[in-house]
Structure 1
Amino acid sequence: MEEMGLRERKRQRMYQDVSDIAVRLFLERGFDAVSVAEVAAAAGISKPTLFRYFPAKEDLVLHRIADHETEAARVAAAADDPVDALRRNFLDGLRRRDPVTGLNDHPQVLAFHTLLYGTPSLVARAYGHLRRSEAALAAALGGDLEARLAAGQIIAVQRILAEDNWRRIAAGEGVGEVAPDAERAAERAFARLAATLPDRLGGGSRE
């Protein structure tokens, strides 16, 4: 068991190291200007080995958000009121300046988001991440049509809120200026969700 734990830690370390090297190269020279072979050489591994870890070039970048893929599902599954739990989780992310909320002005975070949102193939690949997040959340909510519709709305709300925060900060606004608006926008968005979703999902009108 301990050996398996060590092997898994080494495997995760490899994922992180190769992704970090790739992102650094992409930020320096542009995503399309760097080949997978160059990333493999910089990481000291063969190209076939790299593809065993990352099936597509875009996955080298998206690894940084991979741990968020099942976050909404985990939050919803542990709550009696999934929508409210997801609201509180998103607001907590804003207050922690979690990069996934878009409310972070660290130069490296801004550069990463510019790379992600400014590269068409990465945007397209990111939708796969969103679809998997949506599917996991739908399963946590019950898996029926109502659950799938709710999951689609929730994931869309989180994505749009995060993108709006990032675009404002990328345009030059400070985090302190954007943060109050970001929290109010999140509160309004989740309130609208709660007003339209079925009661069993945490919806229904609230006083």
Structure 2
Amino acid sequence: MEEGLRERKKRETRQRIADIAMGLFLRRGFDNVTVAEVAKAADVSVNTVFNYFRTKEDLFLDRGEETEDLLARAVRERREGETAVGAVRRDFFESLESGDWRYGMSEGMDLFAQRVRESVALQSRVRMLDVQREERLARTLAEESDADHDDPDPWLVSAQICAVVNALTRHFAIRQMAGEDPARIRADIGRHAERAFDLLERGIGDYCARPAPGALSLP
């Protein structure tokens, strides 16, 4: 019980620092805010900030671990009989319909994307996050499909899934930064996503399907 309280306080402190930092970054720009200013606004020391966040970029991308694991988690938690593509497709549309942040299609993402565009450091960090997400998905696909260590299929499938997700997210951000209504964009994205996932499913749709209970495995 005591350990649980301690962990909860740590999570709350981390979230408070991240929220304050994001407010400063969105108002003034990422490169115009120092870690010392974040620490002062959060009423903590600079060392405390770095105890929770390794770098300034991690302060901005405080949900980086969740984002990196997003697609791999969808595959790990897929339903009986559901394929890897089907699991990602379902998770994508659930997020799109609810306006959740995890696929970058929520309110306020235009300003978030603009701040990334303004900072070379953030652009580099986002690219690294994309690479790590693709690698994590590929390793999960390899584990879930019991692929040989030199089998390139998990990596090929991961690259295709990530390309679709990244293209849809980028399309949303560009249109929102141009001032279009997010609700209208999401409706259009839904149509584009249906087409994109249809194309994926025709090519790799049966890859890494989770067997139903009692189903016979084919040789």
Considering the TM-score relative to the shorter chain, is it more than 0.5? yes
Q: CA deviation at 1:139?
A: 2.1
Q: Aligned ranges for residues 38-187 of structure 1 at < 5 Å?
A: 38-79=37-78, 80-104=82-106, 106=107, 108-143=108-143, 144-187=151-194
The residue identity in structure 1 corresponding to 2:102 is V
Q: CA deviation at 1:86?
A: 0.7
Where does the alignment leave 5 or more consecutive residues of structure 1 unmatched? 203-207
- Within 2, Cα distance between the matches of 1:166 and 1:100? 13
- Within 2, Cα distance between the matches of 1:95 and 1:192? 21
Confirm or deny: 8 A CA contact 2:83 2:205 kept in the other structure.
no
Q: CA deviation at 1:198?
A: 7.1
Confirm or deny: 8 A CA contact 1:102 1:164 kept in the other structure.
no
- Within 2, Cα distance between the matches of 1:13 and 1:109? 23
Say which SS state the counterpart of residue 33 (structure 2) adopts: coil
The residue identity in structure 1 corresponding to 2:169 is A
- Within 2, Cα distance between the matches of 1:19 and 1:117? 20
Identify which of structures 1 and 2 has the higher relative contact order when contacts are C-alpha pairs closer than 8 Å and 6+ apart: 2
Distance 1:125 1:54, change over 3 A: same
Instruction: Name the Cα RMSD after superposition.
Output: 2.0
Where does the alignment leave 5 or more consecutive residues of structure 2 unmatched? 144-150, 210-219
Percent of aligned pairs sharing the same letter: 38
- Within 2, Cα distance between the matches of 1:167 and 1:6? 42
Distance 1:117 1:94, change over 3 A: farther
Q: CA deviation at 1:44?
A: 1.8
Q: CA deviation at 1:56?
A: 1.1
Map Cα deviations across residues 40-66 of structure 1 (whole Å, 9 max, x no partner). Answer: 222222222212211111110100454
TM-score w.r.t. length of structure 1: 0.86
- Within 2, Cα distance between the matches of 1:185 and 1:128? 26
Map Cα deviations across residues 171-204 of structure 1 (whole Å, 9 max, x no partner). Answer: 12112322232011111111222223373335xx
Give the match for residue 16 of structure 2.
17
- Within 2, Cα distance between the matches of 1:178 and 1:28? 25
TM-score w.r.t. length of structure 2: 0.81
* Residues paired across the two proteins, number: 199
The residue identity in structure 2 corresponding to 1:133 is R
